[in-house]
Amino acid sequence: MKKDIISIVKKEHQKLTSKNLSNNYISNYILPIIDYIINTNENKFIISGSQGVGKSTLSKLIKIVIERTSLQQVMLLSIDDYYLSKKSRYQLSNQVHPLLLTRGVPGTHDIKKLKEHIMQFNKKKFPIITPTFNKLKDDISKKTNAFSKADILILEGWCCGAKPIAKNYLHKNLNKIEKIFDKNFKWRNFYNLKLKIEYQKIFNSFDKTIYLQPPSFEFVLKWRYAQEKNNAKKIKTKNFMNKNATKTFILHYEKLTKWMMKNMPVNADMLIKVDKNQKIKKIIY
């Protein structure tokens, strides 16, 4: 059975990333995560981590393995698919703060819809039709996902499980976005309040949180830019963010990402340390 699972992971990981994993790596670092989810007797999990750290790939592998090796079905949701439409963010940017035009921080998601879908899962009210978001077009896609049955719910996303940011750190300027465009802290206060109230209610409804920790924030730009190019390559388009645009984009994420790197290791139920090559180097329970 273990050999079969290793074979599945190896094959599917190659499909998802075009990269090969060794049997030993899968056995030491992928299977323990899958075993943890299957054997905890819980059914709602958060998988969190910075942009490009590998959480989406890991989540997809977990879903594939569980569904192929057991009778259980997995409802895999990405918080990214719940981003508000470009039009809604434009309205929000006019009403609250111009920086809210850029998707990312708490307050730029349709958290009401996400909550509804989690409640449907809890009550086993299927089918559940969930949205998808087109990142290259920066808008909601016409495509949807349909779940006719699910025993396990996984929510993955960069800010999932995050705790509200302490005021002294929130008001400390880390980059030009904050220093120049948010001098009165209105943007930061807005998204942190959203995180403190609406998002915590969502996160606290989950049983376990798994956090993938990058070695440092400097790798987020490298990984995010590679992700942008790969997404464009898949659909054969040249319409994607260049490196400078990507750098500006992730400045919106910097504060909360660094805050999570500081406190998620003690708040997560499982900590996964990732090296500069996006490989898992250590798992801490």
Residue 235 has pLDDT above 90, yes or no: no
Residue 42 has pLDDT above 80, yes or no: yes
Question: How far apart are the two ends of the chain, measured CA to CA in Å?
Answer: 24
Q: Look at strands 139-147 and 128-134 and give their pairing.
A: antiparallel
pLDDT value, residue 165: 98
Instruction: Categorize the per-residue pLDDT at 3 as very low, low, confident or very high, splitting at 50, 70 and 90.
Output: confident
pLDDT > 90: what percent of the chain?
Answer: 85
Distance, CA of 28 to CA of 36 (rounded, Å): 13
Strand partners, 144: 131
Report the SS3 class of residue 177: helix
Distances (CA, A) of 33 to 20, 62, 115, 190, 214: 19, 8, 26, 35, 17
Instruction: Categorize the per-residue pLDDT at 282 as very low, low, confident or very high, splitting at 50, 70 and 90.
Output: very high
* Mean pLDDT for the stretch of residues 56-73: 96
Q: Which residues contact 142 (CB under 8 A, 6 or more apart)?
A: none
Q: Which domains does the chain have, with CATH numbers?
A: 2-275 (3.40.50.300)
* Mean pLDDT for the stretch of residues 6-33: 95
pTM: predicted TM-score of the whole model, two decimal places: 0.93
Question: Which residue, among 53, 37, 14, has the nearest Cα to 227 in the 3D structure?
Answer: 53
Least confident span in 137-151, 180-194, 216-230, 266-280: 216-230
Is residue 215 within 8 Å of 276, Cβ to Cβ? yes
pLDDT > 70: what percent of the chain?
Answer: 95
* Mean pLDDT for the stretch of residues 175-183: 97
* Mean pLDDT for the stretch of residues 30-58: 95
Report the SS3 class of residue 280: strand
Q: How far is Cα of residue 119 from the mean position of the Cα atoms in its chain?
A: 20
Instruction: Categorize the per-residue pLDDT at 243 as very low, low, confident or very high, splitting at 50, 70 and 90.
Output: confident
Instruction: Categorize the per-residue pLDDT at 54 as very low, low, confident or very high, splitting at 50, 70 and 90.
Output: very high
Please identify which residue in the block is written with the tokens 């948010």: 182
Q: What is the mean pLDDT of the chain?
A: 94
pLDDT value, residue 68: 95
Going across the sheet that includes 280-284, the strands are 74-78, 152-157, 44-49, 208-213, 270-274, 280-284
Instruction: Categorize the per-residue pLDDT at 245 as very low, low, confident or very high, splitting at 50, 70 and 90.
Output: confident
- Preceding peptide of 127 cis, ω within 30°: yes
Task: Select the more confidently predicted residue: 51 or 25.
Answer: 25
Structure tokens at 229: 């190019």
Is residue 158 within 8 Å of 252, Cβ to Cβ? no
Instruction: Categorize the per-residue pLDDT at 123 as very low, low, confident or very high, splitting at 50, 70 and 90.
Output: very high
Would you call 229 exposed, middle or buried from its count of C-beta atoms within 10 A (0-12, 13-18, 19+)?
A: middle
The stretches of 215-278 forming alpha helices (DSSP H) are 218-234, 243-267
* Mean pLDDT for the stretch of residues 167-194: 98
Structure tokens at 233: 């390559």
Distance, CA of 61 to CA of 68 (rounded, Å): 11
Residue 231 has pLDDT above 70, yes or no: no
Residue 99 has pLDDT above 80, yes or no: yes
